[in-house]
Structure 1
Amino acid sequence: MILVVKRLLSFILLLTLLIKPESVTAQLLGSAKTAVEEPAKTPEDSLGRRTPQGTVNGFIKAIGDQNYLRASQYFVLSKRSYRKTAERIRIAKTFQLLLDQGGNFSPSSIISNKELGRIDDDLSTGVDLVGNISTDKTAIQLYLENQSDDSQPALWLFSAETIEAIMAADIKGEKTFLDRILPNILIEKKLGNVPIGHWAVVVVMTVVCYLLSRFLIFLFVFLIQKLWRNAASEKGTAIIEAFTLPVQMYLTVIVFVALTQRMGISIIVRQRFSIIIITIGILAFLILLWRMTDFVTMFTRSRMNRRGRISAVSAILFLSRATKVAIVFIGIIAILGIIGVDVTAGLAALGIGGIALALGAQKTIENFVGSVSLIADQPLRVGDYCRVDDIKGTVESIGMRSTTLRTAGRTIVTIPNGQLSASKIENFAHRDRFILNPIFNFRLDTTPDQIRYLLVELRSLLYAHPSVLNFPTPNVRFTSITTDALKIEINAYIEAANFDISQEAQEDILLRMIDVIEKSGASLAYPSQTLYVARETPLSNEKSEAVSETVKKWKENNELQVPKFDPKRIEELKGTIKYPDDGSFKPEEDYNL
C-alpha cells in the first residue's frame, strides 16, 4: 500500500514538471525576491563636516585636543598652504588665539544641523554665518561655505575669505591676558582639554557678575524711588518688582559675556557655557512675562472691582491662567530647542491633539468666547432688567459659561454665553427717558371746540409738567375719526432715573389729563362692539358753553395755540405745575424734619 502511494505521488510530481516546470521549480526552490533598489546613502565624513554644526563642533574638539593639523582640515586653503604642514598648524593656532581673545561662535543648537545649511537668512545658498571675532584691531565674520555641488555630498568648511582675514590679523601676543596672569600650575593642569585655571576663573566671574549686577540693580531702583513720585504706590512697587529679577539676570549674563571674552577665557569653555547663557536669557524673559501678567491681572482686577464689574473678574483670572500656561509651554519649547532637542514632531503631535481637543470642547470654547465678548461689549450687567429673545428678567449673574436671569415669575433662566452673545438683547436699564404714549378715544358727539380745548390744555399740561422733556417737543395731535370715536394721540418723554420713578410721573400726568377731559365736558368713547345697559350721562351744556366761550376768546385775542404753540407761552408754562401735588407724600420733607 505504501509503495502504491509513493508511485502515485511520483507520477503527479512528474506530470506537474512537464506541464509548468518553471512554476514548480519556483515553489520547490522558493520564490525569487524582487530586487528593490535602495537609495544610496550619503557616506559619512570622518570629521563630521556634512553640516555647519558638525564642522564647528569638530573644529572646537580638534583645537581642544591641540590637534591643529586636524583642525586645519576645516579650512578652505590654497593648494600651496595645504601642502605646508607648519603653515596649516600656524593658521589653526592663530584662529584659536583670536577666538580666545575676542571671538564667539553661535551656540551649537542654533547652528544649522542640515546639509543645506540655513535657508532663512539673507546670505546666499551654501553660506552660513556661525560667529565673529572682535578685538581692538580685528573684526572678522566667521563664514562657512559648502564646497560641494549638488551631485556630491555636502562639505562645510570655513570660507577662504575668513581664513585670509585670520592670516592677516594682528595678534598682540602669543598668550591671552588670562594666560599671562595665571600661575603655570593652573595652566598646565587641564580639565576637559581646558586649563583648570580657566574653569576656576569662570566660577569666580559668575559670582562677581551676579554681585555686581545686584549692586547695579539696587542703585538703579534707589534712583527710581527718588526720582519717580509714584514709586512708593502699589502700582509703582509692583512694576519695580516685576522688572527687578529679569533685568538682574540679563545684566549678569551681559557682564559675564563681556568680561570673560575680554579676559581671554578659552573659546572651548565659553562655547560650552553659551547654551547655559542663552537658557538664562530665555528664563529671564519668561519670568518678566510671568510677572507682567501678574501685574496686569492685579491692576485689571482692582479696576473692575472699583467699577462694580464683578463678572469680569472671573474672565480676567481665566485669561491670566491661560497666559501663564502659554508662557510655560513656549518656554519649554524654546529651552528644548536651545538644548538641541528636535521639537518639530512634538509640535505636530500637539497640533493634532489641539485640533481634536478643540473639536471636542467646541461648545465650551464657544461659551468662553461669548463670555469674553459680553464682558468687552457690556450689553448687560448684573442687576439690569433686559429681554433676551422672548425672555424678560433681571440679570443675576454673568459667569464664564452661562448667564442667569430671574423672570417676573421669580424663576431662574440659564442662558449659555455662546447663545447669549448671538441673541438680540434689549436692555431696559440703560434707558435715558421713558415714552408716554396714551391714545384717547372721544365720543363722536364731541364738538370741534372741545377738541380744540383739549389739544391746547393737554399740550399746556405737558409743557408745564417738570417731568416731561421739552426736547423732543411733546406732541398732542387729533389723529383720526373712526366709526366709533375721535382719536387724540399723545407722544412725549418722561425724564426719570428708573422705571419706578417714570411710572409715578406717568400716573400723575394721566390723572391731570383726566381732570382736563372732565373740565372740557367731553367723554371718552367705549368700543363700538361693547354692549352695555346704563343710563347715559347727559352732556353738560354749561361746560360746553363755557368751553366754547373760552375758545372764542382765544380766537378773538389770537391766542389759540393750534396747530402750533407760541414759544413765549411755552416758556411761561414751564414748571408751573407743582409736582408732586399738594397733599402728596413727600419723603424728603419728612426726612428733613
Structure 2
Amino acid sequence: MIDLLRRLIAAFATPAARVALAAVVTAGVGASDAIALPQDAETEESPAEAVMQIPDDEAVARGSDTPRNASFTFIVLCRDGDWVDAADMLEPPASGWPEGVPPTRIARALKSVLDHRLWIDFASVPGVSANAPGAPDRVTIGVIDTPETVLEVEMIRVDERWIFAASTVQGVPEMARAIGVWWVSALPEFMVDVRVAEIELWQWIGIVAIACAGLLVGWGLTWLLRHGILSMLGPAVAPLILILTPLAFLLSVLGMRIAQPLLVLSAPARENLSLGSRAALVFAIAWLVVRWIRVVSMAVEAQMAKRGITDGVAIIRMFRGAAIAVVWLLGVAASLQIFGLDLSTVIAGLGIGTAAIALASQQTLANLFGGASVVADQVLNVGDTCMIDGKISTVERIGVRSTQLRTADRTLLVVANGDLAQARIEKLSARDGFRHVATLGLRYETSPDTMLAIVADLEQRLKEEPLVDPKSAMAHFTGFGESSLNVEVRAMFRTLDMPAYRAAVQRLNADFMRIVARHGSGFAFPSRTVYMTQDAGIGRSVPAGR
C-alpha cells in the first residue's frame, strides 16, 4: 500500500489532483495505510497539504538517499509498526544503547517526540541538494526546546545513507521524559500501531475514559443539584432540572478539551480531535439553549393557565417549536462550518425568506406580539375592569390575535392586541380605594357662624365613617355660587367593594341633610332674579307721568 501511495503522489502532478488526494488522505480512509504527509504543528493547514509544497522534481519517496526521503521513510515505518527497520535508521550513540532500553523503544520515543513537538514539513527538509559535491554531511531538521533540555533533530550521512545522528538519538529519552511521552514508548505495539483519524488506539481509549469520567462527574452533579433544588426550593422550580443534563454533557466536553494535553496527540490528531470537540461543544450549547427555551415556555404556560389565558398556550407552544427549530438549525450550520462546509449562502437565503414572510404578515405579527406583550407585562387579566377609549368594560378573554371585553351595556367589545398594546388603559379593578368629592349648596340666608358650625360637623361626620380614611376627610366653605353657598367635602374610602362604597356614601348624604337641617339652614334651589322695565322703543320718548 505504501508503494502504491508513493506512485500516486508522483503521478498526481496537477494542483487540483493533489488537493483531491490530500482530502482523501485527511479523511482517514484506511487509517493505518493512508499516510498524511505532515507539516509544522503550529500551522493551521491539514497534514496532507504538505504534499503540495514539494517541488515536482523532488517529490518525496521512500528511501534513505536524501534527508527528505529518509525522514519520510522513518515516519512511514513507524506508522506501519515496523519498529525494527525504523530503529535501523538511528545511529548508535558512541557510548552504546542505554541499558535496558532497546533501539526500538528509542525509535518509538522519537516518533512520539516528533509527533508532539516537531511535526516535520518535508518541503523544508533538504532533498537531492544535500548530496551535491561539497554539501555538509549533517542536516538539521528542527530544534525542540523545553525548560529542561534542548534536542536538535539532525540527520547524518553514513555510507550514502541518511540516518538520525547519534547526538539526536542520545537525547531522545531525556526529551521524551521532559515532555511526558517517554511512557508511551513502553505501551504494547498494537496500542500505537492501530490508529483512526490520526489518533492511536491508546489515545482513543483515553478519550473515551475522559469522556466517561466527565459524564459521570456531570451526572453526579446533576443528581446532587436535582435533589438539592427540589429540597431547598420545592417543586415549583422542577422545570429547571431540564437544563442539568445538557449542562453535564457540556462540562464533560470542556473537561475533555482541558485534558487533551495528557493524550500526547500529534498535530493532525489534535486538529481532528479539536474539530470533533468543537462540534460537540456546539451541540451541547444548542442542547442547553433548547432545554432553556422549554423551561421558559413551561413557566409562561403555567402563568397563563393561572391567569385563565388558555388560548395563549397555543401561541407559546408555536413560538417554542419555531425557536427550537431555529436553534438546532443554527447548531447544525455551525457544526458543518467547523468541518469546512460553507453555509453562509444558505443562511443568507433563509434570512431573506424569513424577512419576506415577516413583511407580508406584519399586521398578524403585530397582533401576536401585542398579545405577547399584554400577557408578559400583565397589562390585563381575565376579570379585570378597565376603561379603554372612554368605555368601561370587563375583560372576558385574551386570545392570540384579539381581546374580548364586556361593556357596561352588556355588549361585546373586540380589540386587536396590536391596538390594545398601544392604547391608554385605565384599570379600574386595580384601584386601592374610592375617592369621594361632593359639593353641597346652602342657602344664602345662612349666617357665617352657622356656616362654620355646619362645616365642622360635616368634617367630623366624615371622620366617624368606618370606611373613610380619617386623614383624608375634610370639609370647606369653598365659595359663592350663582344661587348657593358652596361647601366641598372630600374623603378616601378604604374599600374595593363598589356596593359597600355606595352604601357608605348614602349614609353620609343622609347625615349631611340632618346636620344642615339641625343648624336651621337648608339646601338652595337654583334661582334667578329678573328685573323688568318698560321703555319707549327706538326713536320715541316715554310720556311724562308714565
Could you tell me the TM-score, scaled by structure 1's length? 0.58
> Deviation string for 1:164-216 (max 9, x for gaps)?
457946755899948952349x94xx9xxx68997866776676556544444
Distance 1:247 1:317 in 2: 26
**1:87 corresponds to:** 67
> Deviation string for 1:340-366 (max 9, x for gaps)?
332222222222212211111111221
- Distance change (3 Å), C-alpha of 1:372 and 1:134: farther
> Deviation string for 1:56-89 (max 9, x for gaps)?
8599589975486997655699xx9x9x972234
- Distance change (3 Å), C-alpha of 1:522 and 1:256: closer
Distance 1:321 1:195 in 2: 38
- Distance change (3 Å), C-alpha of 1:92 and 1:320: same
What letter matches 1:244 in structure 2? T
Distance 2:143 2:52 in 1: 15
Q: Determine helix, strand or coil for the equivalent of 2:526.
A: coil
What letter matches 2:327 in structure 1? I
1:34-49 correspondence runs (5 A): 46-47=14-15
- Distance change (3 Å), C-alpha of 1:524 and 1:197: closer
Deviation of 1:488 (Å): 1.6
Distance 2:434 2:518 in 1: 28
1:177-576 correspondence runs (5 A): 177=184, 181-183=188-190, 187=193, 211-221=212-222, 224=225, 230=231, 233-234=234-235, 238-248=239-249, 251=252, 255=256, 262=263, 275-302=275-302, 317=317, 319-472=319-472, 474-528=473-527
Deviation of 1:407 (Å): 0.5
- Please say if residues 178 and 263 of structure 1, whose CA atoms lie closer than 8 Å, have aligned partners that are also in contact: no
> Deviation string for 1:404-437 (max 9, x for gaps)?
1101121111111111121111111122221211
- Distance change (3 Å), C-alpha of 1:415 and 1:529: farther
Distance 2:196 2:475 in 1: 103
- Please say if residues 442 and 523 of structure 2, whose CA atoms lie closer than 8 Å, have aligned partners that are also in contact: yes
Distance 1:470 1:508 in 2: 16
- Distance change (3 Å), C-alpha of 1:73 and 1:312: closer
Distance 1:47 1:246 in 2: 45
Deviation of 1:91 (Å): 5.6
- Distance change (3 Å), C-alpha of 1:195 and 1:444: closer
- Please say if residues 370 and 421 of structure 1, whose CA atoms lie closer than 8 Å, have aligned partners that are also in contact: yes
- Please say if residues 209 and 252 of structure 1, whose CA atoms lie closer than 8 Å, have aligned partners that are also in contact: no
Deviation of 1:372 (Å): 3.0
- Please say if residues 439 and 486 of structure 2, whose CA atoms lie closer than 8 Å, have aligned partners that are also in contact: yes
Q: Which of 198-207 and 396-405 deviates more?
A: 198-207
What letter matches 2:423 in structure 1? S
- Please say if residues 432 and 494 of structure 2, whose CA atoms lie closer than 8 Å, have aligned partners that are also in contact: yes
- Distance change (3 Å), C-alpha of 1:382 and 1:345: same
Q: Determine helix, strand or coil for the equivalent of 2:395.
A: strand
- Please say if residues 72 and 89 of structure 1, whose CA atoms lie closer than 8 Å, have aligned partners that are also in contact: no
Q: Determine helix, strand or coil for the equivalent of 1:382.
A: coil
Distance 1:216 1:97 in 2: 41
Deviation of 1:521 (Å): 2.6
What letter matches 1:251 in structure 2? S
- Please say if residues 206 and 256 of structure 1, whose CA atoms lie closer than 8 Å, have aligned partners that are also in contact: no
- Distance change (3 Å), C-alpha of 1:249 and 1:454: closer
- Distance change (3 Å), C-alpha of 1:328 and 1:465: same
1:128-207 correspondence runs (5 A): 164-165=142-143, 168=152, 177=184, 181-183=188-190, 187=193
Deviation of 1:268 (Å): 5.8
- Distance change (3 Å), C-alpha of 1:377 and 1:207: closer
Distance 1:382 1:226 in 2: 36
> Deviation string for 1:114-150 (max 9, x for gaps)?
xxxxxxxxxxxxxxxxxxx99799757999xxxxxxx
What letter matches 1:437 in structure 2? V
Q: Work out the number of aligned pairs and report it.
A: 428
> Deviation string for 1:469-488 (max 9, x for gaps)?
2233x332222223322222
What letter matches 2:66 in structure 1? A
- Distance change (3 Å), C-alpha of 1:271 and 1:350: same
Identity %: 22
Deviation of 1:251 (Å): 2.0
- Please say if residues 247 and 284 of structure 1, whose CA atoms lie closer than 8 Å, have aligned partners that are also in contact: no
Deviation of 1:394 (Å): 0.7
Q: Which of 344-353 and 248-257 deviates more?
A: 248-257
- Please say if residues 25 and 35 of structure 2, whose CA atoms lie closer than 8 Å, have aligned partners that are also in contact: no
Distance 1:235 1:45 in 2: 69
What letter matches 2:503 in structure 1? E
What letter matches 1:287 in structure 2? W
**1:586 corresponds to:** none
Deviation of 1:458 (Å): 0.9
Q: Structure 1: where are the runs of 5+ without partners? A: 1-43, 101-132, 144-162, 532-593
What letter matches 1:477 in structure 2? H
- Please say if residues 205 and 256 of structure 1, whose CA atoms lie closer than 8 Å, have aligned partners that are also in contact: no
Q: Which of 255-264 and 391-400 deviates more?
A: 255-264
- Distance change (3 Å), C-alpha of 1:480 and 1:432: same
- Distance change (3 Å), C-alpha of 1:204 and 1:483: closer
Q: Determine helix, strand or coil for the equivalent of 1:342.
A: coil
Deviation of 1:397 (Å): 2.1
